[in-house]
Amino acid sequence: MVVDTVESIMSRKVRAIDVSASLHEVAKIMKKDNISTVIITKDNDPVGIVTERDMAQKVVAEALDVKKVSAEKIMSTPLQTIELGTSIFYAQRLMQQEKFKKLPIVEGTKLVGIVTQTDISNYLTQKRKEFVLKSLDKSAQEAYPV
């Protein structure tokens, strides 16, 4: 049995910024790229994560000065990552256990992507659809293209 890995469903469009960057810079990246998560790096290694939720609860609610406070001050750390070859099912279980919505993917120490709950949900929905279609007779399969 072939086990699908997170590499097959991850997004390679993950944004990262240095720990010294201001929260204003983080917010500008989120707005420009229409994303909700930025990975925080130190010496190009991923060390933390800042999400929209962090921005609301740790920045806005505390009235922090976004131009003076660095990403390092509010990032969630230590950063939980998984390797490129990790099975999708392991990633799903880890995300459920830890209540993560996003999980950065590394190859060694290099950030190469990110997988989200939505990515995993879409994958599982597709697999379920394929399974059901295999159970149908030939004429029914043709009515429901994959």
pLDDT band at 3 (very low <50, low <70, confident <90, very high): confident
The Cα–Cα gap between 5 and 104 comes to 14
CATH number, domain with residue 55: 3.10.580.10
pLDDT tens-digit series, residues 20-38: 999 999 999 999 999 999 9
Residues contacting 135, CB < 8 A, separation 6+: none
41 located within any domain: yes
pTM of the prediction? 0.84
Distance (Å) of CA 145 to CA 91, 107, 139, 140, 141: 28, 35, 11, 10, 7
For tokens 């030939």, name the residue.
138
Provide the residue range defining the domain that includes 89.
6-143
20 located within any domain: yes
pLDDT tens-digit series, residues 81-139: 999 999 999 999 999 999 999 999 999 989 999 999 999 999 999 988 888 888 876 66
1 located within any domain: no
